[in-house]
């Protein structure tokens, strides 16, 4: 392997970057661009999220679901101001469909508690 980092060094870098407040995708980009580490999983045998979870820095809601929740909140506030924007009304429906599908997957996998439910009004507080 052409990568010059040991698995322990990569885990230490991931932990350091997570403590600085970076999310898992940002950590992957920083490791790739600044350190020349192509894939964390091929070196350590664990994903960035799993390493963050072992250290106790994993987010409560998975990153992809959190991003969809943020998009839904932004679209909802836009639609409150622009009630006749039918294209974005449809976009909100598709985003909420993805939120429901993804949350069902994470409930099945045990990442989210079975009682977790998407509520648009509560999502705006996140």
Judgement on whether residues 37 and 75 belong to the same structural domain of the protein = no
Judgement on whether residues 49 and 87 belong to the same structural domain of the protein = no
Q: Which structure tokens are listed for 23? A: 């999310």
How confident is the prediction along the chain (126 residues), in pLDDT tens digits per residue? 567 889 999 999 999 999 999 999 999 999 999 999 999 998 999 999 999 999 999 888 999 999 999 999 999 999 999 999 999 999 999 999 999 999 999 999 999 999 999 988 776 655
CA distances from 65 to 8, 40, 81, 102 (A): 29, 22, 25, 7
Supply the CATH number for residue 119's domain.
1.10.287.10
> Rounded to 10 degrees, what is the CA torsion of 48, 6, 19, 45?
20
Query: What pTM, to 2 d.p., does this model score?
Result: 0.81
Judgement on whether residues 114 and 68 belong to the same structural domain of the protein = yes
23 lies in which domain range? 7-55
């Amino acid at each position: 392997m052409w990568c010059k980092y040991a698995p322990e060094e990569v885990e230490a870098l991931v932990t350091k970057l997570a403590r600085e407040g970076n999310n898992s995708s940002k950590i992957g980009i920083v490791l790739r661009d600044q350190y020349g580490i192509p894939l964390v999983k091929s070196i350590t045998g664990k994903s960035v999220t799993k390493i963050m979870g072992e250290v106790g820095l994993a987010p409560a809601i998975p990153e992809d679901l959190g991003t969809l929740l943020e998009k839904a909140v932004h679209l909802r506030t836009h639609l409150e101001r622009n009630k006749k924007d039918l294209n974005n009304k449809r976009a909100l429906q598709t985003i909420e469909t993805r939120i429901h599908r993804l949350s069902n997957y994470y409930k099945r996998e045990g990442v989210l508690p079975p009682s977790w439910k998407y509520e648009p009004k509560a999502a705006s507080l996140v």
